[in-house]
Structure 1
Amino acid sequence: MKSQTNNVYDTIIFDLGSVLIDWNPRYLYRKIFATEAEIDNFLQNICTPDWNEEQDAGRSLQEATEMLVTSHPAHEAQIRAYYGRWKEMLGGEIPGSVQLLRQLKDSGKYKLYALTNWSNETFPLALVEFPFLQWFDGIVVSGRERQRKPFPSFYQLLLSRYQVDAEHALFIDDNLRNVKAAEAQGIDSIHFVHPEQLKDVLVSKNILN
C-alpha cells in the first residue's frame, strides 16, 4: 500500500459482502444439514463459490439452479434452497464497518461508492434489508453489468461511470484477489479483515481521526 495522506484521497470504494454485510451460506445450511462436514462437502462440491460467481456475473438463478439439479438430483432440495431461502444467508449488517461508513459519510470529505460481486436478482432484497446502502453516491453491481471482480474492466467501469481518478481512490475488500486486482489498476487498497483493523488503517492514513 502507498504511503499517502488524507489530502490525496477524495473517493472511497467499498466491497459489500463480508465487509459491510454479513453474508454466509452456512447460516442457511446449518438448518438443513446435521454436521459442518456435510455443509463443507455441499459447498465445496455442489453449490461451490465458482458456481455462485457465475450468478454474480449475470447468469440467471433459474439456469444455475436447474443446471445443478440435473447434475446432482439427489441434492435437489438442498440446491433449490440456495436461492429459494437466500435471505436466510444474511446475518445482518457488520456494525463496526457500518459505523465507519457513517463517519466517512458525515465527514463530507469523500465520495463513497460500492463495487460488489452480487446477483442482480438478489441485490434488490439487500437494498430493502440494509438502508445504509442509500448512503453511497453510487453502487456498481456485477450481476447488473454482467462482469465482476477481479476482472480489470469491472474496476474501470466504476472509475469511468463516476469520473473517479484512481490515483485519489481507496478500495476496501475482504478478498485479497480483488484487492490485488484493484492495485493493478492503480487503486490504493485495503485488505479488510475486521472493522477494528479497518479503522486502524483509516486512522493511519489520516482519513479518520
Structure 2
Amino acid sequence: MVSPTITAIIFDLGGVLIDWNPRHLYRKLITDEQEMTTFLDTITTPDWNEEQDAGRSLADGTAALVARHPQHRELIEHFYGRWSEMLGGAIQGTVDILTELRASQRYHLYALTNWSAETFPVAQAQFEFLNWFEGIVVSGTERMRKPTAEFYHLLLTRYGVEVQEAVFIDDNLRNIQAAQAIGLHTVHFQSPEQLRTELEAFGVLPAVR
C-alpha cells in the first residue's frame, strides 16, 4: 500500500495532548467513586459541557444547570469555578511526538479543539506547546464544534489545507468518523505509542526498529 502524501497534521487537544478530566476535580469533592461518576454522567454531562464548548457562556451554562438541579448548586458551580483543577498535565508521549514533528519542519501543525473560549486561555498559559501550532481553531470562539462538518472545513479553508494531505488525530470516535466522512486521514488516539505506530505507517514519522 502506498502511503498518502501528508503535508499537515491536525491535533485534537484534550485527551490527546492535555489530560483534561473532570474527575481530577470531583474526586476532591465527592469521596464515593460511584456517586461521583453518577454526578458527572447525569448532571454535569458531556453534552452540557459541549454547549459551552459551542459558545454558550460559562455563566449561562451554569445558571441553566443550577435551575434544573438546584440541590446540586455548589457542585455545579465548582465545574467552572475550579475548572483549572481538571487539568491533569500534559500527555508527555504525545508532546514528544509533536516535538519531533515540529523539529522536522516537514509538516504544517494545527489544532482543532472543542473548548470553551473562556477556559482555553487558562490552558494556553499553562502549556507552552500550544504556541507551536500554526493555527488553533477553538470551537467556543467559532461557535461551532466537532463533529459538525463545517467546523473541520473551517480549519481546512482558513489555512489552505488540502483534505487528502492531512492527518487528523482525536480520541473521540465520533469526531474521527466525522473527519473520515469529509475525506481526512485519521488516527483514533488511544495512546502515544499507538499514535507513533500509526504515524509511522503514514510515513510521517520514521519507523524505528
The letter for the 2-side match of 1:11 is A
Structure 1 residues 113-122 or 63-72, which shifts more? 63-72
Equivalent-residue separation in structure 2 for 1:84 and 1:167 (angstroms): 41
Conserved 8 A contact 1:166-1:187: yes
1:206 CA drift (Å)? 1.5
1:4 CA drift (Å)? 4.7
Equivalent-residue separation in structure 2 for 1:141 and 1:91 (angstroms): 20
Aligned-partner SS, 2:203: coil
2:179 paired residue number: 182
Equivalences for residues 136-147 of structure 1 within 5 A: 136-147=133-144
Conserved 8 A contact 1:5-1:207: no
2:101 paired residue number: 104
The match for 1:23 among 14, 20, 25 is: 20
Q: Paired residues, what number?
A: 206
Are 2:165 and 1:168 equivalent residues in the alignment? yes
Are 2:6 and 1:9 equivalent residues in the alignment? yes
Aligned-partner SS, 1:31: helix
CA RMSD across the alignment? 0.9
Give a deviation string over 1:77-110, Cα, whole Å, max 9, x none: 1000000000000000000000000000000000
The letter for the 1-side match of 2:148 is F
Aligned-partner SS, 2:178: helix
Aligned-partner SS, 1:171: strand
The letter for the 1-side match of 2:165 is H
Structure 1 residues 196 and 166: alpha-carbon distance in aligned structure 2, compared to 1, 3 A threshold: same
Structure 1 residues 43 and 4: alpha-carbon distance in aligned structure 2, compared to 1, 3 A threshold: farther
2:55 paired residue number: 58
TM-score, reference length from structure 2: 0.97
The match for 1:207 among 180, 204, 207 is: 204
The letter for the 1-side match of 2:3 is T
Equivalent-residue separation in structure 2 for 1:177 and 1:70 (angstroms): 30
Equivalent-residue separation in structure 2 for 1:173 and 1:69 (angstroms): 31
Aligned-partner SS, 1:112: strand
Equivalences for residues 77-156 of structure 1 within 5 A: 77-156=74-153
1:205 CA drift (Å)? 1.7
1:5 CA drift (Å)? 2.4
Aligned-residue identity in percent: 57
1:70 CA drift (Å)? 1.2
Are 2:128 and 1:158 equivalent residues in the alignment? no
Conserved 8 A contact 1:17-1:116: yes
Equivalent-residue separation in structure 2 for 1:190 and 1:92 (angstroms): 22
Structure 1 residues 66-75 or 54-63, which shifts more? 66-75
Equivalent-residue separation in structure 2 for 1:173 and 1:194 (angstroms): 11
TM-score, reference length from structure 1: 0.97
1:44 CA drift (Å)? 1.1
